[in-house]
Chain A
Amino acid sequence: MSAWEAAGARLAAGEASLVSLWAEPGAVHLALFEKGELGHLAHDCPTGRFPSLARVHPPALRLERAAQDLCGFIAEGLPDPRPWLIHGAAATPYRFLPVEGENLHEIAVGPVHAGIIEPGHFRFTCDGETVVRVEERLGYVHRGVETLMAGAALPLAAQRAGRMSGDSTVAYALAFALAAEQASGTAPPARAVWLRALMAEIERLANHLGDVGAICNDAAFALMHAHCAILRERVLRASAACFGHRLMMDGVVPGGVARDLSPAGVALLAGLAHEIRAAFAPLARLYDMTASLQDRTVGTGILHPDLARQFAAGGYVGRASGRDFDARRTPGYPPYEQLAFTVPVLREGDVNARIMIRIREIGETLGLIEQILARLPEGPICAAWRQTRGEGMALVEGFRGDVFVWLRLEGETVARCHLRDPSWFQWPLLEAAIKGNIIADFPLCNKSFNCAYAGHDR
């Protein structure tokens, strides 16, 4: 058995979890999380054929379909060889999975949805109001990011990485910078390391605030939405004042950060954290005490812990279903080993649990922001870049879950780069969580997962 297939066997046995799988001309790559460490394995396949791991480990399925699409490879034995990211290139039209049975009807939704939403297609099969199955079709926002990365200059590549998913721009830019720094052997200065963590926590705070409101809005509780949106806006304005951009795009750069935080900025952010703590506490209570809202969220869209474990679901999706994982803690990256925070975990796996995780994470994140502001080291904010060749990879905890980046550098040029959004292992679980729910609850379940489209589609 090759090392590739042996890794597949360990994945299937639950001894390792899948982090990513991708291809480049001549080789397929696998990233695994095993015994508390991030590992990488490359399998040469000069003929473009490699043994499918999805045969034994289903979470690899869509990644292998994508590898087939992007590199023209063949995953031998792949249980579902349909294209995934690239539309319209195959000779035959895309076929959804067949459904048979009495009383069943299909509903096709998307790619254009009502509202300001990213594009994706959902094919529902229902028995009356009950969803029997939903099949996702993604790839509508496939921008060919990895193709564009190959051969790009480092600064441009970093900007593109920061636009994989706009809501996670800091997380992506950070994962990209960490991977590039590992490849080149450049060490960012201490102040930059702490400022990066500060930006990452502000991003988490803004997204959690916005989404707690938006999920409640999908249960027709607009009051929460209005209040959370105000708090989110305050965070974005503070980000613009401190880092020059409301979403903090291009704030994290390879080698350090682009802008320093002034003492006035420190005071502004400390005031913001204080204000949000005070304003959010009554909102969290409001959520807890509104029976009509809980009636919608408790017991809805349950994701079983076994599936969360098998798919190594990251972020609040995994943590609401018993998966105690946070990339800030393991494998971990600085400065989090010097900061105190707890990672909330629940087992119920319903919409309510996913909201509760995010409500608690808002508190933890505010605590982190306060600790960072109090202990921010002085010094330079960017290191001189070391020109070398090398490979690097990094796993960073974004608000949605762990963002993975692998790259190969040649001097200041990116030879190859792969970026994996946490949604790759969350989207398939949404299909499982909705089963048996009424179709009217799909928007609520979907929002509670809040998977990325752009980040996933690359």
Chain B
Amino acid sequence: MRKTLLQDLFARSLTEPLTRPDSQAVELARALDAAAQRQLGRSLSIRALDAGSCNGCELEMHALSNAFYDLERFGLRFVASPRHADVLMVTGIVTRAMRVALERTDQAIPRPRWVVAVGACARDGGLFAASPQGMGGVGAVLPVDLYIAGCPPSPVDLLAGLLALLQQKT
């Protein structure tokens, strides 16, 4: 293990500068609250919630933490408790069975908070929009601040979306 750690210490960093901060995949659903933006500052805690995804979106959210994207360098991090969160990041069509869990998670987040809908499913149900088991996206249940499009969105698109909340240019 010592050898691996030592090698890592002297290896070239893999973390990449963000090359596409103005991603086409990012769409603000409503004007961001300037007061909230001031209050939340330059760092965001994110609570992820799968409300009926295929797990493709989750895989790319996981990838945000790898050495190439290193989410935390931007002051962004995933947190376990909604009580610690500023952002609720939702994937999936919002199934009937997850609706209450989604609402309760949202209620547990202190205000102000932003809701980000990730992926085609969360946007409008995507390929499963016609499902009688789904609500047809996050917007049917919660007010959405930001959509990040894709099936699934790439980690670069996800980063660009989150940075749009901070209006932080890299």
Contact = CB atoms under 8 A, between A and B. Distances in A.
Interface residues of B, number: 45
A232 B95 CA distance: 30
A233 B55 contact: no
A453 B55 contact: yes
A247 B152 contact: yes
B107 interface: no
Given A141-B95, A142-B133, A143-B131, A454 B54 contact: yes
A115 B78 contact: yes
A163 B92 contact: no
B159 interface: no
Contacts of A226: 66-67
Q: Could you say which of B54, B92, B130 has the most chain A C-beta atoms within 10 Å of its C-beta?
A: B54
A169 B53 CA distance: 13
B139 interface: no
B61 interface: yes
A343 B51 CA distance: 36
Contacts of B4: 223, 227, 282, 286
A390 B133 CA distance: 28
A299 B135 CA distance: 44
A9 interface: no
Interface string A110-149: 0110111111000000000000000000011111110110
Interface string A84-112: 00111000000000000000000000011
B97 A142 contact: yes
Contacts of A115: 48, 78, 80
B153 to A, nearest CB: 10
B41 interface: no
Nearest to B66: A229
Contact of B1 (A111, A116, A159, A223): A223
A167 interface: yes
A148 to B, nearest CB: 6
Nearest to B105: A112
A112 B67 contact: no
Contact of A233 (B63, B78, B152): B63
Contacts of B1: 223, 286, 289-290
A166 interface: yes
Interface string B112-149: 00000000000000011011111000000000000000
Contacts of A144: 128, 131-134
Contacts of A303: none
Contact of B98 (A111, A165, A230, A232): A111
Contact of A143 (B52, B57, B61, B62): B52
B78 A236 contact: no
B52 A232 contact: no
A249 B151 contact: yes
A379 to B, nearest CB: 30
Interface string B40-83: 00000000111111111111111101111000000000101100
A246 interface: yes
Contacts of B59: 166-167, 210, 247
Contact of A88 (B50, B56, B96): B96
A394 interface: no
Interface in A154-203: 156, 159-160, 163-167, 169
A140 B128 contact: no
A142 B53 CA distance: 10
Contacts of B53: 118, 141, 166, 454
Nearest to A228: B66
A253 interface: no
B18 interface: no
Interface in A420-458: 452-454
A233 B93 contact: no
A115 B80 CA distance: 5
Contact of A166 (B58, B81, B131, B154): B58
B29 interface: no
Nearest to A87: B97
Contact of B55 (A118, A147, A148): A118
11 contacts: A111-B101, A140-B95, A140-B98, A142-B95, A144-B134, A145-B131, A148-B128, A166-B58, A210-B62, A453-B50, A453-B55
Interface of A: 86-88, 111-112, 114-119, 139-145, 147-148, 156, 159-160, 163-167, 169, 210, 223, 226-227, 229-230, 232-233, 236, 246-247, 249, 282, 286, 289-290, 452-454
Given A230-B14, A230-B66, A453-B55, 10 more contacts: A87-B97, A111-B101, A140-B95, A142-B97, A142-B133, A160-B127, A167-B55, A223-B1, A229-B66, A286-B4
**Which 4 pairs across A and B sit closest by C-beta, in order of nearness?**
A166-B56, A114-B80, A144-B133, A229-B66
